[in-house]
Amino acid sequence: MQLRTFLTASAAAATLLALGLPAHAQAPANYKSEYRLSVVLGTAFPWGKGAEIWADKVRERTQGRINIKLYPGTSLVQGDQTREFSAIRQGVIDMAVGSTINWSPQVKALNLFSLPFLFPDYAAVDAVVQGQVGQEIFKTIDKAGVLPLAWGENGYREISNSKKAISKPEDLKGMKIRVVGSPLFLDTFTALGANPTQMSWADAQPAMASGAVDGQENPVSVYMAAKLSTVGQKYMTLWGYMNDPLIYVVNKDVWASWTPADQAIVKQAALDAAKEQIAISRKGMSEADKPLVKELTAQGVTVTDLSPAQRKVFADATKSVYTKWKPQIGTNLVDMAEKAIAARKQ
């Protein structure tokens, strides 16, 4: 061995020792030195936290063989959330924790979650994603060219705005609302009499600050972490019109490049991280007294919590959207979801 090679090798061994990793942790030669994990929201949000937990567990359990780095802001596709799925399939992105909304342009079935007022409560979400429907959707994602491993959750999307309290569809009349991804959102907000406009999350915040849009819809945890009250979003209505699950995925070539033992580790780590992520995401909203809502109120936000009767008025006003999209998503799949929800344990 030449002296230089020897020194480099011993330096590498010393680094591994310093990291507390045994020398046999060295990765097979075909492994990348870094795997790129895409997320929209970073570690200040439950979403990014869930991705970080996954990366940490994988690094620990593979003794550093698989080293994952987070790329928040969907930066690997220049912030264009709706291009994330294709980029994973093509290998521009190695791994992701992504939203069903952002991937719905490529995977029609994912619009299931955006059907207005399908999910009355968290038990309904669990019955669908953790049951047969969730498995069917995973098969569809797999067929579309990306390997799904676990379900996480961004959360129930509530509506905020800078103008006035919303308690009935007429209150939305003419309001300019920023929406995401799928054309389904344009249909829903148009049916409610609002004026929806599609833009990325990166563009949404300046648009709220400048008053170019009046409102937006996102989970309360996102509203809080992004401090949307500082960009004029003073009114929040809890209407729970849809829940936005997240999916932990890996590019298929990357997956195939790993040993079966490492594949098993990555999968189990995704399941464990997703479970923790869902708990973080529901914290403050799933308890009966909703502590997060109290915090909102304390920040001076006017919170309108719809009664079941008020909620029904919104559901009735968007029924045509539900009916129009059901066959596009897949009548069988939607039927299966409706049945799972009706049969849920509460």
Binding positions for ligand X2X, rule: CB under 6 A: 40-41, 81, 99, 101-102, 154, 180, 201, 218, 222, 244
Minimum CB–partner distance for residue 167 and ligand X2X (Å):
23
What is the Cα–Cα distance from 250 to 280, expressed in whole angstroms?
22
With helix as H, strand as E and coil as C, how does 174-219 read? CCEEEECCCHHHHHHHHHCCCEEEECCHHHHHHHHHHCCCCEEEEC
Q: Measured from the CB atom, is 202 or 313 closer to ligand X2X?
A: 202
Q: Measured from the CB atom, is 66 or 95 closer to ligand X2X?
A: 95
Minimum CB–partner distance for residue 219 and ligand X2X (Å):
7
> By Cβ distance, which residue is nearest to ligand X2X?
201
Q: Max CA-CA distance within the chain?
A: 79
Minimum CB–partner distance for residue 99 and ligand X2X (Å):
4
Q: Are 305 and 293 in contact (CB under 8 A)?
A: yes
E strand or H helix that includes residue 279: helix 260-282
Q: Measured from the CB atom, is 102 or 188 closer to ligand X2X?
A: 102
DSSP 220-255: HHHHHHTTGGGGT--EEEE----EEEEEEEEEHHHH
Q: Measured from the CB atom, is 172 or 265 closer to ligand X2X?
A: 172
Q: What separation, in Å, do the N-terminal and C-terminal C-alpha atoms of the chain show?
A: 67
Minimum CB–partner distance for residue 1 and ligand X2X (Å):
51
Give whole-number Cα distances, 286 to 13, 156, 163, in Å.
48, 10, 28
Minimum CB–partner distance for residue 5 and ligand X2X (Å):
47
For residue 208, give every residue at least 6 positions away whose Cβ sits within 8 Å of its Cβ, in sequence order, or none.
162, 178, 216, 228, 231, 232, 233
Q: Measured from the CB atom, is 119 or 255 closer to ligand X2X?
A: 119
Minimum CB–partner distance for residue 201 and ligand X2X (Å):
3
User: Which residues partner with 251 through β-bridges?
Assistant: 146
Q: Measured from the CB atom, is 81 or 251 closer to ligand X2X?
A: 81
Minimum CB–partner distance for residue 82 and ligand X2X (Å):
10
Q: Measured from the CB atom, is 158 or 244 closer to ligand X2X?
A: 244
E strand or H helix that includes residue 319: helix 319-329
